[in-house]
Amino acid sequence: MYQERSLYNVGTKKIVDLKTATELDPVLSFPYKYRAASMVDENRIGEAILEINKIIGFKVSPDCLELRAWLFIAIEDYESALRDIRALLTLEPNYMMFHGKIRGDHMVELLNQYVQQWGPGDCWMQLYDRWSAVDDIGSLAVTHQMLVNDPAKSILLFRQSLLLLRLNCQKAAMRSLRLSRNHASSEHERLIYEGWILYDTGYREEALSKAELSISIHRSFEAFFLKAYMLADTTLDTESSSHVIQLLEEALKCPSDGLRKGQALNNLGSIYVDISKLDLATDCYVNALDIKHTRAHQGLARVHHLKNQRKAAYDEMTKLIEKAQNNASAYEKRSEYCDRDMANGDLSMATQLDPLRTYPYRYRAAVLMDDQKENEAVQELTKAIAFKPDLQMLHLRAAFHESMGDCASALRDCEAALCLDPNHKDTIDLYNRAQGRALHLHM
């Protein structure tokens, strides 16, 4: 409503309404775009780019990428503009820019005249560097460029789908995954992509059969990795863990590139941590870092923490923060390895970078409850629930309401949480308890 009212306001009142709209629902893109456009009118293009960066950092959309591309063109940073246009064309291949007047691929042709051209080898090096820097938009742009030159290369389409999933672009990711299946160069490769499609759509057993059939035809990295990934996505006992370890070790024996092998080493390290083989886990994470799998810093930090080396864990996460372009999750994770004041600082930064992450709100609310600031704790959760009604936050707010004696509010939040997951045991127990207390109060 604040956003809607801003359309009928001017000047300071409009800016205040849009600021309030962002505070209440940071997912709304119009306030960011309006503020950025206003800064351009005042010739503050650098600040306009920083403003639009805020929402692109946690919600990637073609319209915001287009706006940022125009801003880069205005300061003659054609390489960055080209990156953003390639990324938006990955999301919407037929996207029309400039109010539907210019095809996105035509803009790519125009900007190509002003940037250095890369050959296939250069593209792979650029992809490696951007993937290592956790620069998902930059990686998308490179894969788009490579696919223009080789549109039927299934391995690139598969990489593209992985990047799109990391950016929460599920529809575009599934499109890329289906294209990778359609362009598969062999039967065993097609089975792998079909396995991922089945897994991502909830058909786990059928996906597992595809992976096993692919392995029976040809022992490949991706087939072993797929099977290991699916088996690891359950509660593992010692025997199951050993099987997943064996599969990942087989995958690592097969030909692949550093990007994928780094992921396999990272996953292997995680399994070793789960079964308390910390030295073996350390070896995996160090080997992954040696081939620039930057996310392995997080796994190594976990090992340090389990060895009661909290300072080393904190320092390891700091390395990830310094290297990764998308680092909201790293700030969140680092907060687990420091004192309360430093943790609050890291979680505030995580919320600033990605307000959709729910853990920071839950942590701050729990701290406020510990300090007996019950109303403030409820308000902290309410902020996030207003734009992201998350099961855990609804359950936690219900528990807070119950502890404050507000059974009606506790029951309301439990009912909302059970709409999201009718079988959530802790919420069912809380609901029954609150209902019992409510009946007792009315007797």
Task: Render each residue's pLDDT in the chain as its tens digit; 443 residues.
Answer: 999 999 998 889 999 999 999 999 999 999 999 999 999 999 999 999 999 999 999 999 999 999 999 999 999 999 999 999 999 999 999 999 999 999 999 999 999 999 999 999 999 999 999 999 999 999 999 999 999 988 889 999 999 999 999 999 999 999 999 999 999 999 999 999 999 999 999 999 999 999 999 999 999 999 999 999 999 987 678 889 999 999 999 999 999 999 999 999 999 999 999 999 999 999 999 999 999 999 999 999 999 999 999 999 999 999 999 999 888 999 999 999 999 999 999 999 999 999 999 999 999 999 999 999 999 999 999 999 999 999 999 999 999 999 999 999 999 999 999 999 999 999 999 999 999 888 776 66
| Type and span of the H or E element at 103 | strand 102-103
Gap between the Cα atoms of 104 and 112, Å rounded: 12
CATH of the domain at 345: 1.25.40.10
Residues 195/214, Cβ–Cβ less than 8 Å: yes
Please tell me whether residues 347 and 374 are part of one structural domain.
no
For residue 418, how many other CB atoms are within 10 A of its CB?
A: 18
Q: Do 342 and 366 have their domain in common?
A: no
Q: How far apart, in whole angstroms, are the C-alpha atoms of residue 363 and residue 343?
A: 9
Q: Token pair for residue 197? A: 């499609």
396 with 364, same domain: the answer is yes
Q: Look up tokens 């575009």; give the residue.
A: 172
Amino acid at 70: W
Domain finish residue from 291, 317, 352: 352
- In angstroms, the CA 77 to CA 63 distance is 19
Residue 313: alpha-carbon gap to chain centroid: 22
Q: From 352, 386, 401, give the residue that closes a domain.
A: 352
Domains: count for the chain: 2
What is the pLDDT, as a whole number, of residue 180? 97
Residue 21 near residue 316, CB atoms below 8 Å = no
Q: Are 45 and 71 in contact (CB under 8 A)?
A: yes
Range list of H helices, 275-371: 278-290, 296-306, 310-323, 328-334, 340-353, 359-370
Distance from C-alpha of 288 to C-alpha of 253, rounded to nearest angstrom = 15
Cα distance between residue 69 and residue 42, in whole Å: 18
Measured at the alpha carbon of residue 362, what is the angle toward residues 356 and 366, in degrees to the nearest 5? 160
Choose the final residue of a domain: 321, 352, 383.
Answer: 352
CB 111 within 8 A of CB 78: yes
Q: What is the pTM of this model?
A: 0.92
Q: Is residue 20 part of a domain?
A: no
365-370-375 Cα angle (round to 5): 55
Whether residues 339 and 420 fall in one domain: no
Check whether residue 326 and residue 381 sit in a common domain. Answer: no
Contact status, residue 400 vs residue 365, Cβ threshold 8 Å: yes
Distance CA 327, CA 10 (A): 36
Tokens of residue 370, six digits: 């510990």
Stated length of the chain:
443
The residues pairing with 103 across neighbouring beta strands, listed in sequence order, are 96
Residue range(s) defining the domain that contains residue 364: 358-443
CA 118 centroid distance within chain = 29
Angle at 331 between CA 80 and CA 236, to 5 degrees: 110
CA distance 228 to 62: 34
Inside any domain, residue 295: yes
Does the residue 417 lie in any domain?
Answer: yes
Please report whether residue 119 resides in a domain: no
